[in-house]
Amino acid sequence: MKVGIIGGTGGIGKGMALRLSQNHEVVIGSRKQEKANVSCDDCCTFLKELGLPFNLMPSTNQGVVDSCDIVVFSVPPETLEVTIDSLTGLEGKIVVSLMNPMEKADYFKYAPPEEGSAAMQLQRMLPDSKVIAAFNNIPANKWNQISEVLDYSVCVCGDYEEEKQLVMDLVNSISKLEALNAGPLAVSATVEAITPLVINIAKFNKMRDVGVYFR
């Protein structure tokens, strides 16, 4: 399964690349090829030093769309529109949203677009793509801590059952993550809202890397 990460040079995108590339062919995408090259070199060097296998290459965001079966959008929600406007060829692709729109004041508050969630906004903007929401509630810092096990529950939402199962299989291939079918894409609003909740819990209780488990 060939997976491309739009915004793959950011903290979460880079951490996903480190984790996924041990079992899948992964393409790190960026607006600028040079930035993707640097991030890819860093990841390859890091994994090589740890003696871990990897299959990783750099590309532009458009190169990700052109070459990958699954396209992950790991971009800030406020840059989503300009990012999509710069891309062509997403029709028929499995597109994974892990975006969680939030506002920060004295506490973090869920701030969804008018569609109800970032994933539903992405589906509206890409009507011919198959949008699946996943990976929303994994603590950002944990992606890059390769020596630590990821054992969180991952809620997966989508209106396309076959493609949702493929994404669940992808989730289950990473460390000890457990994919759970959370229902249609409309449920993504509830899932996205969990992230500001757990950040607030961490902040007000002096906790770190609070995650979600369903047992």
pLDDT digits (tens, 9 = 90+) for 44-100: 999 999 999 999 999 999 999 999 999 999 999 999 999 999 999 999 999 999 999
Q: For residue 99, is it within any domain?
A: yes
Q: For residue 214, is it within any domain?
A: no
- Is the pTM of the predicted complex or chain greater than 0.85? yes
Q: For residue 78, is it within any domain?
A: yes
Q: For residue 174, is it within any domain?
A: yes
CA gap 29, 113 in Å, rounded = 25
Q: For residue 89, is it within any domain?
A: yes
Task: Say which CATH number the domain at 137 has.
Answer: 3.40.50.720
Q: For residue 215, is it within any domain?
A: no
Whole domain around residue 64: which residue ranges?
Answer: 2-204
| 3-class DSSP assignment, residue 97 | strand
Q: Which residues of 55-80 are buried (b: 16+ CB within 10 A; e: fewer)?
A: ebbbbbbebbbeebebbbbbbebeeb
pLDDT single digits (tens) 121-178: 999 999 999 999 999 999 988 999 998 999 999 999 999 999 999 999 999 999 999 9
How many distinct structural domains can be found in the chain?
A: 1
Q: For residue 209, is it within any domain?
A: no
Q: For residue 212, is it within any domain?
A: no
